Amino acid sequence: MRILVTGAAGYIGAALVRSLAPHHEVLATDQGAMDFGPGVEAVTGNLAYPKFARSLVTAQTDAVFHLASLVSGGAEQNFELGTKVNLDATRDLLEACRLAGNRPRFLFASSIAVYGQGGDIGDDTPARPRLSYGTQKLVCELLIDDYSRRGYLDGCALRLPAVMVRPGTANTALTGWVSAIIREPLAGRDYVCPVAPQTTMACISVRRVVEAFVHASRLELAAERAFLLPGIPVTAREMLDAAKARGAKGAVRFEPDPRIQKAMEGAPRSTRSARADALGFEPSRDIMEIVREYQEDYPDPSVARHG
């Protein structure tokens, strides 16, 4: 298969490219530098420019994994840029698929931000986003449904919980602390956590997310095209305790930021989906598994620091 992966220099995108490359012909694109070695064609460019976005899909493209986005905090701070990157670029890719004429599979990284509420989220929870990021993701899901209904592509959206543990420096995601509270102490660095110890997030590891995208690409889809991935509930204290149990030396101090704390109190604590279970999507087992996988993928803390 010839596969396009957008956001390929990112945390999930890079892991997905590495998983797909041994078995498929992969075209990877992002704004940043990419070096996946032989077998992966890397194209640098900005999806916010329609001509570039539409040039990426041809009649030879069998599947598109669309992961590129401006994350929650960034989309809230810059509405125009968030709309261009998260909504307009997605529509340009959908149009490219329509014009290619070969009905490719389209896999979209959506988010639990589409729900806009806290607590335990399930299949019957209505999608009512409270942030621009969640609204943009939900609109894209609806577009993918319509393009699929009309036969232009075969689309599927995965609503992702907090994916961890992200290497490198912090991005503008409001949930960036869920990775930093593990990554920084494991690297021997102190960290000031912007939420209270009891703050709970629905979490999943990047390995489970990559498995989910690959699994979704093979499913026979019917009317339902947006799936909620299972996210286990983990408190900030439990994240820190798991890092300590795995050898973390850096100290963590909790100093809640009112803006971030309020946002987290309105975020899902856990996500459970009978539909996803029935289709074979698997959750992370526990926070210790997530931390162990991170250490296996990034055994050198200095590499983890710089991504």
Q: Which residues are catalytic?
A: 133
- If you search the block for the tokens 């290619």, which residue do you land on? 100
Order the strands of the 200-205 sheet from edge to edge: 162-164, 200-205, 232-235
Residue 161 CA to residue 270 CA, distance in Å, equals: 8
The sign of the CA dihedral 208, 265, 256, 173 is: positive
Angstrom CA distances, 108 to 7, 139, 142, 160, 282, stand at 11, 12, 11, 10, 18
The SS3 call for residue 143 is helix
The sign of the CA dihedral 274, 279, 280, 281 is: negative
> Residue 160: phi, psi to the nearest 5?
-90, 135
- Is residue 102 within a helix (H) or strand (E), and if so which, with residue range? none
Retrieve residue 266's tokens. 């309105």
Retrieve residue 182's tokens. 């593990």
- Is residue 80 within a helix (H) or strand (E), and if so which, with residue range? helix 79-82
Q: Which amino acid is at 186?
A: L
